[in-house]
A and B are shown apart, each in its own frame.
Chain A
Amino acid sequence: GAVVSQHPSWVICKSGTSVKIECRSLDFQATTMFWYRQFPKQSLMLMATSNEGSKATYEQGVEKDKFLINHASLTLSTLTVTSAHPEDSSFYICSARDQGVNGYTFGSGTRLTVV
């Protein structure tokens, strides 16, 4: 079945630094990828939608300059949290959609802790 690999699985960084999270579709081409944020015991909140080769579409309230998304190829999307602050600490999850697949495949998530 479709597999999405997300790295790193966890990261700790200092306030003010930037962190990059990678999301790769391993066995299919992902025309569209999605980035979510999840707080403890809460559901997934969509942050942005990225289509290969074009700018990401951000949901209302999500700072595009803080959460930089790049989808340079059909198998790779990256989320960079810039100038991270403790309130950015969260669980970030990517998912990928393939036109030929009924459903969306999720990565295993990245737990970000900003200290």
Chain B
Amino acid sequence: QKEVEQDPGPLSVPEGAIVSLNCTYSNSAFQYFMWYRQYSRKGPELLMYTYSSGNKEDGRFTAQVDKSSKYISLFIRDSQPSDSATYLCAISTSSYKLIFGSGTRLLVRP
């Protein structure tokens, strides 16, 4: 079993839709959770960082963590074509290494 599982997609939605991206993880000791956005041939860009269960909101983005279910989500409201990218969930371990999900490719159609 992979430590972090993520549906690779692709996920195609119309402009303005609410997008839901999800990951599950296996180790209940993980505490720090991140979402990155990666455009083609570019390095990942940090979108959200959280370490507790619950919701964290930043503009159109909401990160949700459910530690009891070992489930993390990223919601994008009013999605735009410029949101088309690969979204990677990541978990920071106690040794500060990041474990990435496989990434979900998102396409927002105009």
Which residues of chain A have a CB within 8 Å of any CB of chain B? 4, 6, 32, 34, 41-44, 46, 49, 91, 93, 95, 97, 102-109, 111
Contact = CB atoms under 8 A, between A and B. Distances in A.
A6 B8 CA distance: 27
Given A32-B96, A102-B49, A43 B101 contact: yes
Interface stretch (B12-20, B36-44, B66-74): B36-44
Nearest to A42: B102
Contacts of B102: 42-43
Nearest to A105: B46
Nearest to B32: A102
A108 B46 contact: no
A104 B46 contact: yes
Contacts of A102: 49
11 contacts: A41-B105, A42-B103, A44-B44, A44-B100, A49-B97, A93-B43, A95-B98, A103-B49, A106-B43, A106-B46, A111-B41
Contacts of B44: 44, 93, 95, 106
B45 A106 contact: yes
Interface of B: 8, 34, 36, 41-46, 49, 88, 92, 95-98, 100-103, 105
Contacts, number: 51
Interface SS of chain A: helix, strand, loop or mixed? strand
B88 A43 contact: yes
B96 A108 contact: no
A46 B105 CA distance: 20
Contact of A108 (B34, B43, B97): B43
Nearest to B105: A41
Nearest to A104: B98
A26 to B, nearest CB: 14
A106 B43 CA distance: 6
A91 B41 contact: yes
B43 A109 contact: yes
A93 B8 CA distance: 20
A43 B46 contact: no
Contacts of B101: 43
